[in-house]
Amino acid sequence: MRVVIQSVRVRRTVWAAAAVVAVLWPGRAIGPLDGVPLDGRLEAIVLGLVLPALWWFDRSVFDLVTARVVVAVLLALKLGSTLALTQGGLCTEFRAERPIAGRIQAIDFDDPSGELPSWDLRARSSGADCSAITARPYLSRVDFPAWFVNLLDNAEPAQSRVAMHVSGVVAPSAAGTLSLQTAPEMIARLLVDGRHIALSHDGRVDVGLDAGVHTVSMSAVLMGSSWMFVPLWNGSDPWRAARVTIVPPSRLDVIAPWVAIAIAILATALLGCWLIQAARSARLRVSEWAWIVAASAVLGWLGTTRFDRAAVLLLFGVLLLPAVSRRANVRGAFLLIGIPWLALVAGTSLDQIGRFSIYTRGNDWLTYQISAYRIYQFGYWLEAGEKAFYYQPLYRWICGALHSVFGDSSVGELYWDAGCLLAGALLALHLGKHAGRRWAVGAAVATLVIAALGPAWYLIGRGLAEISAAGFAAVAALRLMRGRDQQIPAACVAGTFAVLAYYCRLNHMLFAGGLLALVLPLRRPARAIRDPRRILARIKAPNAIAYVTVLAAGLALLAARTWYYGGRFSVFQGTSLALNYTGLEPAKMLHSVFATVIGNEAFDPRGLSILAGVAAAVFAIAQVPPFVSLPLGASLVCLAGVAGAFVAHAHGYPGRFSVHLLPVTTALVFNSASLFSGLLRVRRGGDAAHQAAAGVLTSPAAAHRNR
């Protein structure tokens, strides 16, 4: 039976992966759901946020023949159009005023060509010398596919001028007017069919064209912050009102508009079928669906306002549902809490979609971005901009992959961080079950609320590694707890995610090892530490060995890369540990730990929940009543999350070094609140069960129930 179940899961996963490839594959025909880059609001939210959520939540739709046929046809259509059609849009090339050479943000950068590629995968597959494919208007500087501005602004010396050349073919089926609006400061030159067309003083021009094929070319100099490039055909979007291609179209290109429509219909049908099947598998009540729809609508709208942070408090409304305790599991919490949370994030992201971010000099996020650019644009896949990882290793590959999907915009990093925080909320839910199901749901909501209202809010989508590390650690913890049933395979998966966690944040090596405490039964209280032999007897050795083996293999691979580039088999050579090492000096350790448990280098009341959770874990391990009834595994994991601060000094970026603690400390706070609630009931004449839960009874029977 288990073999059959695994076979079904593998088949679903393969078809789901094929569906993602089919939907995201860069389209030659320009349309509303034509694939990467996801630089439009509809496709960014639907394909960049809804699609991954569906992929995670339920893949049973691929048991249906209809869904598999749609995927196969869509994939064939995407591949066939790539081979047969000319790339739609205009070929846009950017060049620096002079080649970039030297060090930028401590990263060696040497590009003698002066080319400035964007994050548009269509440009690479087009076969032409393009930096980007222009298939939408650019109304302002940040709308341009010009992430490279971050390079030019931070080069030594900085560059303020970029040469832009746009070329392509307009092939209208009837006579009409081609209009172009540019910024006057761009000093644009326009050629149509080889004829120079003068632009007006305000950068606008109208050109009458007959039906047929016409070549268009524009050269301009981009400088300052006043940029604009808005072509129109008869006052409408030229990419839909007329055929626009990077080179003269072939006879087959006459079907391009129909191909774009077919791709959009197939993608919509696939997602619609997937949504319906996921809704069926959810088996929610009408009241629960009403909550999801209403909360998502309200939070999505509030996300577009200046009340976006405070709006997260509305998630506590889920506790008013009459049967919310029935949904105190990962899938149920994802539906009732995760969907409204993602709707809030979608609302906050609208102004960021299709627009690149400008990163400030001297901050770590710029270093990750430059390293990612070096990896994906110039092929430094292993070196990654640093032969020795002074900065944390993995995130540069992550943000580069997100840019490849979403284009120059950093909205993908916002969605990614929101997903990682949601994984932490689901972990808090699981750890909070020790107190009760309703308490657990509250812990999940509180994790997101603290992330939004606490000092770490500005980190979401900003481009640092800590939220990614926390997300990987949360997944590792969830898989470890599930591994009590699935044993070695789940433990290996958990170990892999733990490795990814400390690859993102090397400070988390001790934390990754500490997650091993979650192989203990969740309900085993901290008082059980008095009998270590009983604890060891409950640990499944194969699970623990598998997890530790994967962790060790990850460390060995990282050390092997350091040896390859630096000649020393070490995970610490060249890292920032040399600068941030506390030297185990009491003053430095105290300051580092304080900054970790309060979320800031100075006292910050927004970090009190983290401090309370850590204090509860300390009291639990110290056997202080009633904290001895807190779950032992969660308490140990919490302390392991603080352990790295004793070695590496935590400073700068408020909330940065505390993100990984949010789920476990929040769960411990809610568990503690449940204990004290039980104590109050005892004082008011509660029953023995409440007394046992509060850890105040000492009879053999009560001790057995709490064991």
Give the amino acid at 283.
Answer: R
C-beta atoms surrounding 450 within 10 Å: 29
Euclidean distance between the first and final Cα of the chain, in Å?
34
Domain boundaries of the chain, sorted by first residue: 2-85+257-277, 90-249
What's the token pair of residue 256?
Answer: 């391009």
CB 73 within 8 A of CB 19: no
Q: Which helix (H) or strand (E) holds 370?
A: helix 364-378
The alpha carbons of the chain give a radius of gyration, in whole angstroms, of 28
Rounded-to-integer distance, Cα 91 and Cα 86, Å: 12
The number of beta carbons lying within 10 Å of the beta carbon of residue 316 is: 14
Residues of the chain below pLDDT 70? 1-5, 112, 483-486, 682-707
Tally the residues of the chain: 707
Residue 174's SS3 state is coil
Residue burial 178-188, b: 16+ Cβ < 10 Å; e: rest: bbbbbbebbeb
Contacts of 294 (CB under 8 A, 6+ apart): none
Per-residue model confidence as pLDDT tens digits over 551-568: 999 999 999 999 999 889
SS3 at position 250: coil
CATH of the domain spanning 90-249, picked from 3.90.1200, 2.40.50, 1.10.260, 2.60.120: 2.60.120
Only one residue has tokens 């409440």, namely 690
In whole angstroms, give the CA distance from residue 356 to residue 61.
35
The four Cα atoms 392, 395, 397, 398 give a dihedral, to 10 degrees, of 170
Amino acid residing at 634: A
Which pLDDT belongs to residue 704? Answer: 39
Task: Tell me the backbone φ, ψ of residue 680, rounded to 5 degrees.
Answer: -65, -40
Tokens, residue 426 = 């689901």
Spell out a b/e string for 144-158, using b for 16 or more CB atoms within 10 Å of the CB, else e. bbbbbbbbbbbbeee
DSSP run (H or E) holding 359: none
Residues 151 and 74 sit within 8 Å (Cβ to Cβ): no
Instruction: Tell me the three state secondary structure of residue 454.
Output: coil
Q: 660 is written with which tokens?
A: 């990984």
Give the DSSP letter string of 610-638.
HHHHHHHHHHHHTT-TTGGGSBHHHHHHH
pLDDT of residue 12: 92
Do you find a cis peptide bond into 137, omega within 30 degrees of 0?
no
Query: Is 358:149 a contact under the CB 8 Å cutoff?
Result: yes
User: Which has the closest alpha carbon to 44: 471, 347, 312?
Assistant: 347
Helix then strand count (H, E) for the chain reads 28, 12
3-state helix, strand, coil in the chain (%, to 5): 60, 10, 30
Q: How many CB atoms lie within 10 A of CB 685?
A: 7
pTM: 0.93
The answer for residues whose C-beta is within 8 angstroms of residue 118's C-beta and 6 or more apart is 94, 131, 132, 145, 146, 147, 148, 407, 408
> In b/e form, how buried is each residue of 17-38, taking b as 16+ CB within 10 angstroms?
ebbbebbbbbbbbbbebbbbbb
CA pair distance 244, 224, nearest whole angstrom: 29
Distance CA 429, CA 664 (A): 9
- What is d(CA 661, CA 600) in angstroms, rounded to the nearest whole number? 13
Distance of CA 171 to the CA centre of its chain: 40
Residue 658 DSSP SS3: helix
Please identify which residue in the block is written with the tokens 């992929």.
Answer: 55
Give tens-digit pLDDT for 214-248: 999 999 999 888 999 999 999 998 988 889 999 99
